Amino acid sequence: MKQNKRLITIALIVLVIASVIAAFALGPGREEGSTAAEDNMVGVINLEGVITGGSGDAFLSSGSDHIVHQLHEASQDPSIKALVIRINSPGGSAAASQEIYQEVLKVKEAGKKVVVSMGDVAASGGYWVASAADKIVANPATITGSIGVIMEFQNVEGLFEKLGLKVNVIKSAEHKDIGSPTRPMTEEERAIFQGMVDDIYNQFIDVVAKGRKMDREKVKELADGRIFTGRQAKELGLVDELGNFYDALKIAAELAGIEGEPEIKEYGRKTPLEILMTGAPGLLQSRNIILPWGIDPAGLLRAPEMK
């Protein structure tokens, strides 16, 4: 029986590896690091999955460090005249989204046109990033919008009581264990968190109003967390054009004054082996499942998210 389970496990691993390799082998032939002598290239950067800070730790996330580095590379590359950012993300960390947004602005400051191509979903933090672009292209059925901010907290006090567990807290000041999952949140603490959410929410509204050249009050009417289809978003002024990736590529080339079919340089595309090596640790980590003991409660707080 154990031998059979071992064989099944090995077979599944082989299947996953084969699937990843096949996906890359059969995927769109976008060129990475083209050596063509062309001086009129369009760069492509993919922002996929949940937007996280740092380098990211799993298959389905985009670490802001990696994306910011790719954007910086594109801004410094004299052969790149325009950039297409392909976004397929439901959002994520507010700060990480801001970091990427700021770097997109620097790409524009370097004299390069930026076009966002929305995939299945480009919402919340994904839309924050998109709002920095010169043009936004979405599919009619793309899910976008979700302009808002959220913080969530769990309370395991009742569970601990059932398990007969008690937590002793020694702290230097009243709010040092703010957000602790082992006790109810006080009204004062709730007000503190609400103030943080409101501040980031107002930053979000300002970013959209500036990027889309819309009246702030108009943006605020749309910023109640609701989502829109790409077609609805276009009618509301949140999106410029309806189309797919290649339509966005064409628009980017036109904005940059590139004639004919542009050469493409794709940044950050990982090989199948790199995906497996960087994704596996994130899948194996249990820090999100097992409550860590003996650390600063602030380490348990989830940063404000846009999702």
Residue pair 68/104 in contact (Cβ under 8 Å)? The answer is no
Partners of 229 in the β-ladder: 143
The alpha-helical segments, DSSP class H, found in 113-186 are: 125-130, 157-163
Among this protein's residues, is 124 annotated catalytic?
yes
In a domain, 60, yes or no: yes
In a domain, 108, yes or no: yes
In a domain, 13, yes or no: no
| Residue of 19, 171, 176, 210 marked catalytic | 176
pLDDT tens string, the chain, 307 residues long: the values are 555 556 555 655 656 565 555 554 444 444 444 444 457 899 999 999 999 987 655 445 568 899 999 999 999 999 999 999 999 999 999 999 999 999 999 999 999 999 999 999 999 999 999 999 999 999 999 999 999 999 989 999 899 889 999 989 999 999 998 989 989 999 999 999 999 999 999 999 999 999 999 999 999 999 999 999 999 999 999 999 999 999 999 999 999 999 888 899 999 876 555 555 544 444 333 333 333 333 333 444 555 666 5
In a domain, 111, yes or no: yes
| Residue of 62, 64, 93, 124 marked catalytic | 124
- Tally the domains of the chain: 1
In a domain, 142, yes or no: yes
By C-alpha distance, which of 276, 292, 300 is closest to 19? 276
* CA 142/CA 158 separation, integer angstroms: 41
In a domain, 7, yes or no: no
CATH number at residue 140: 3.90.226.10
In a domain, 219, yes or no: yes
Domain of 170?
29-306
pTM above 0.75, yes or no: yes
In a domain, 171, yes or no: yes
